[in-house]
Each structure stands twice: as C-alpha cells, then as structure tokens.
Amino acid sequence: MELRTEPFVLNMGPQHPSTHGVFRMRVTYDGEVVMDLEPMFGYLHRGIEKLAETRTYTQFIPLTDRLAYLSSMTNNHAYVLAVEKLAGITVPERAEYIRVIMDEMMRISSHLMAVGFFLNDLGCSVFTPLLYMYREREKLLDLFEMVCGQRLTYNYMRIGGVSHDLPEEFMPALKQFVAEMPSYIEEYEALLAENEILLARTKGVGILPRELAINASVSGPVLRASGVKWDIRKVDPYSVYDRFEFDIPTGEVGDNYDRYRVRIMEMQQSLRILRQAIEQLPEGEVCAKVPQFLRPPKGEAYGRIEGPQGELGFYIVSDNSIAPYRLHIRPPTLINLTALRDMIRGWKLADAIATFGSIDICLGEVDR
Amino acid sequence: MTKPLAGHQVGEQIRNQVPDAVIEASEEWVLIKPESLLAVANFLKTTPGLEFDYLNCITGVDYLDYLEVVYHLTSMRHNHGIVLKARCSRENAEVPSLVGLWRGADLQEREIYDLLGITFVGHPNLKRIFMWQGFEGHPLRRDYL
C-alpha cells in the first residue's frame, strides 16, 4: 500500500506565546518542516501616524512610547531628534548626555528582554533564563522611575532636551548598576555561552546571508550578526555619540547564535559608553527654550537613531502649523521581518520559532 | 557622518544616463518621473561611485494635489545618502515597484498601498497589510475623515 502525504497549513498566532504579541504566521508544513510562510500583520494597528496629524508636536511624544514599548526612551529620542532637525533647535550639552545615558540603559534593558525571550523560545528550562534577565532589568526600571516616574512609558524627552534634570539619588544608583552589571553578564556567559542545548539549537540555524541582509534593509543587531559593520551611532553620529569610544560587535555567519552573541556583546559596549558618559556629564540646562506650540518652518526632515532593534527613523513633513502635516515612522522590526521567510524555510517548526525569536520584534512598532 | 549627496549633482548624473528622467533637483532631493523610476534606481544602485545598496525608508505623502513617494537611499560602501521622490496623481496612483532591486521595499510598499492607495506596479504580493481585506478607503489620505 502506498502512503500519500500532503502539505498542510497551520496558523501560528495571533494568540500564541512565542509570537511576542499578536503576530500571525500562516505556515505551510511538510510534516514538521516549514515549506512556506506568510507573515500577517495588523492586529495591533492603531493608526499612530494618522493620530500624529491631529496633535501638536509635543503631544505626540507619549504616543512614541507606545511603539516598541520595550524601548520607549529610544523611541522618544528618535522623534525629538527629527523634530529638532526640522525646526533647527540646538539641544543643551547636558541634555544630550542625559539622552545618551537613557538610550544606552534602554538598549541594555531591551537586549536583556530580547535574549531572555529568545532563550525562552528555545525552551531552555521554561522561564529560568528569562527571570535572570528580569532581575537586572528591574534595576534599570527603578532608575527610569527615578528620572520620570514611569517604568514602561516614559515620555521623558522633550523637543529641545529632557523634561527633568536627573534627581540626586540617580547617579549613585546608576554607578552601582554599571559596576555590578559586568558580573551579571559573566554569569550569563558561564551559564549559556558553552551550553550544549543552546549551541545545538542555534549554531547554523536560521542563517541570514550578508547580501540578503543588506538588500532586505535589515538593520540593528540582526544586520550586524550577518557580518555588516553598520551602526548609526558610528557611521552617522547623532547627539554626542562621536565623543565616546566603543566597538561595533559583529557576527560571522548570521545564524541564531550570532544574533544572540551580538546582543550580549552590545550590552558590554553600552556599559562602556555609560561609564564614559557618567564621567563626562557636564552641568547646565537640560532643555532649550522651545515654544509650547512649536511651528517648524515648511519643509521635511528624516531623523534616525540606532535603536535597540535597528534603525528607527521619523520622516516628518511640516506645513508651518502646530501639527505635523505627515509623520512616518520607519519601523526597524517590521522591515527586519522582510527576510523572515528566507530564514525559516526548510527548517523544522521548533527552529522556526527560535529564529523568529532571535529577530526580536515588538508588535507595537510592527503594526503601529 | 553619512554624507548627504547634493540633489542637483546626482540629478545631473542621472540626466546624462537617463534623459528626461529628472523633473526637478534641489539641494536635498531629486524628483523623478515615475515611468523612469526603475531605470534611475537601477542606475543609482549599480553605478560605481554611487552604489546605493541600502534602501532605508519609503514614505508616502498626500499633498492633496498629488501623491508623493519618498525614498531614502544609503550606500554602505561610500557612506553617503540621497533622497528620491516620485509623484503621481491621486486618481491614477501608480508608481513602479522597487522590490526587484531592494527586497526591503516589500513590506513598506504594501503599507503605502494599504494606507495611501498607491499601486506599486510589479510588486509580487501587493495586498493590504494592516487593514483587513475588504476595507474601503485609505486612512492616511488627508481627505479620509
């Protein structure tokens, strides 16, 4: 008797623990092997770009918190940077340093979550590694709470600077964190770097070749893991990033392991920047004088930063009124998903979940 | 620093290669006829000295008289950038798709098609991305609500 097999279609998500929110993949399987996949978006679409057209420039800042909600500070920064470029506003030096400190803290916090959830997706003894990461992230959230009173949606940066100066208790706590964090990273390394399960599940899996990464506009740690030395903080420095010494970690083959390693190494580089920023932090004003109802001159500007997930850009068109005429967000995580199909096809379902986790997406930003 | 190339200089280079393609060139951007967009993009991507291998961002803007698509391009080798623009009418909104040159255009073009109603001719999978199939209208057009 001849046995007949045929491919079948299965929907993963939108309600699925490994899709990090409400992401849906329509996957065609041959047995356990992924033959084809189509990502489906839009379950969290709130029309943030449309909302911007009915708000003043300052009123839009809280909405940027609700893009990638695990990296609210960097979202704030990208937006205010674009508006400052559009309106030609100079930011006081102290505010620039505070922004860099916030950005790098945010990067560490976001990478902790990325690595933690990635390990979770691999099935590394459910939740244990993630809880280690939560432990350190908690300290960062305490620091964020000190400066702005919020733990997730900060709304801290303003056009022309930041909303408050750092409180007295902030610096000692940050210094303590920067001193302690390397030992925690060493702890992860001891537990994970040589871990046989991790290596078996990630080495050579979900390879994203260098050429495809560039062609598909992939950015951030995913791009660097494919061996491209491209970091906007270095190639197009904004704020005061040109004053710090740091390296750009890159991977070699662009597999899941490289993406994991790049994030760990980037945390170490962020700590390096934090140490220098703490040392150089000047005294002075933290916000330039900016009218409450800002009317940037007619024109357009594209401001971009290196967010934890990649190039986060804001393209703003002004018609000299108090609200943006058009505001477009370049979402790094949506564009990083362009190459998802190529990375997953031919692998087993379990590897597909791991590869998807290694991209580190946030649906608030994918769908906007 | 990523060096922004002057629009009129790049515009001059394009004029020599693809005649009649450039409508206007300013300091920051080059406005291209939609029908020559593919040829111009190919020229920018493959010409030594320019080599724009990375497509940063595509934006659609509704100016009420016309629709505009804005392309931000970067060359990773030379670390310079340029802004391309293409305009089309609101009634017959069609622009050629650049997916064949830069895969990164895929989801961004679908997004503009969905929210602004610009058809990208030649896109392999052009359908709504955020709104559901069967949704009427294009929310990011200025006259939508």
Q: What is the pLDDT of residues A90-146, one digit of tens each?
A: 999 999 999 999 999 999 999 999 988 888 888 766 677 788 888 889 999 999 999
Going by pLDDT thresholds of 50, 70 and 90, the confidence category of residue A226 is: very high
Q: In sequence order, what are the residues at sequence separation of 6 or more whose Cβ sits closer than 8 angstroms to the Cβ of residue A281?
A: A94, A97, A98, A101
Query: Residue B107 and residue A367: Cβ atoms within 8 Å?
Result: no
Show the low-confidence residues of chain B (pLDDT under 50): none
pLDDT band at A62 (very low <50, low <70, confident <90, very high): very high
Best probe of the A interface among B2, B53, B54, by most A CBs < 10 A, is: B54
- A338-362 pLDDT, tens digit per residue, is 988 899 888 888 888 888 888 888 8
Task: Check A49 against B72: CB less than 8 A apart.
Answer: no
More confident residue, A32 or A269: A269
List CB contacts (< 8 A) between B129 and chain A. Answer: 41-42
Q: What are phi and psi of B109, to 5 degrees?
A: -70, -35
Q: What is the CATH number of the domain that holds A205?
A: 1.10.645.10
Is residue A78 over pLDDT 90?
yes
- The pLDDT tens digits for A140-198 are 999 999 998 888 889 999 998 899 899 999 999 999 999 999 999 988 888 887 888 88
Confidence (pLDDT) at A213:
92
Q: Does A88 fall in a domain?
A: yes
Q: What is the CA radius of gyration of chain B?
A: 15
Cross-chain residue pair A337–B107, CB shorter than 8 Å:
yes
Specify the pLDDT at position A125: 63
Q: Judge whether residue A32 has pLDDT over 90.
A: no
Domain ranges of chain B: 3-94
pLDDT at res. A361:
84
Minimal Cα distance from B62: which residue of A?
A326
User: Does A43 map to a domain?
Assistant: no
- Per-residue confidence (pLDDT) for residue A219, from 0 to 100: 92
The tally of domains found in chain A comes to 1
Residue A341 carries which side chain, given as an amino acid letter? R
| pLDDT, tens digit (0-9, with 9 covering 90-100), for A294-331 | 899 998 999 999 999 999 999 999 998 999 999 999 99
Torsion on CA atoms A307, A313, A314, A317, rounded to nearest 10: 160
pLDDT at A164 (0 to 100): 86
Q: Residue A206: pLDDT band by 50, 70, 90 thresholds?
A: confident
pLDDT of the residue at A10: 86
Percentage, residues of chain A above pLDDT 70: 99
Which of A41, A338, A368 comes nearest B106 by C-beta?
A: A338
In a domain, A212, yes or no: yes
Band of pLDDT at residue A332, cut at 50, 70 and 90:
very high
Q: Across the interface, do A315 and B79 touch by the CB < 8 Å criterion?
A: no
**pLDDT at residue A354 in the model:** 86
Residues of chain A with pLDDT > 90: what percent? 45
Q: Is the pLDDT of residue A18 over 80?
A: no
The mean pLDDT of chain A is: 89
Domain B3-94 has CATH 3.40.140.10: no
Q: Please report whether residue A29 resides in a domain.
A: no
Check CB contact under 8 Å for A304 and B56. Answer: yes
Return the closest-CA partner of residue A39 out of A52, A53, A21, A27.
Answer: A27
What number of C-beta contacts closer than 8 Å exist between A and B?
83
Average pLDDT of A23-32? 87
User: Which residues on A lie below 8 Å from B1 (Cβ)?
Assistant: 235-237
Q: Is residue A240 part of a domain?
A: yes
Residue A1 lies in a domain: no
A335·B130 Cβ contact <8 A: no
pLDDT, position A214? 92
Nearest CA in chain A to B61: A326
What's the confidence (pLDDT) of residue A7? 85
Domain assignment present for A9: no
Residue A183 carries which side chain, given as an amino acid letter? S
Determine which of B2, B59, B82, B108 to mutate to test the interface with A (most A C-beta atoms within 10 Å).
Answer: B59
CA–CA dist A306, B56 (Å, integer): 13
Per-residue HEC secondary structure of chain A comes to: CCCCCCCEEEEECCCCHHHCCCCEEEEEEECCEEEEEEEECCCCCCCHHHHHCCCCCCCCHHHHHCCCCCCHHHHHHHHHHHHHHHHCCCCCHHHHHHHHHHHHHHHHHHHHHHHHHHHHHHCCCCCHHHHHHHHHHHHHHHHHHHHHCCCCCCCCEECCEECCCCCCCHHHHHHHHHHHHHHHHHHHHHHHCCCHHHHHHHCCCCCCCHHHHHHCCCCCHHHHHCCCCCCHHHHCCCCCHHHCCCCCCCCCCCCHHHHHHHHHHHHHHHHHHHHHHHHHCCCCCCECCCCCCCCCCCEEEEEEEECCCCEEEEEEEECCCCCCCEEEEECHHHHHHHHHHHHHCCCEHHHHHHHHHHHCCCHHHHHC
CB count within 10 Å of CB B8 equals 17
| Domain limits for position A337 | 48-367
Residue A11 pLDDT greater than 90, yes or no: no
Cβ-defined contact of B57 to A235 (cutoff 8 Å): no
Q: Which range has the worst mean pLDDT, A12-16, A204-208, A222-226, B130-134?
A: A12-16
Q: Which residues of B touch A334 (CB under 8 A)?
A: 107, 111
Give the mean pLDDT of A71-75: 91
Q: What is the ipTM of this complex?
A: 0.90
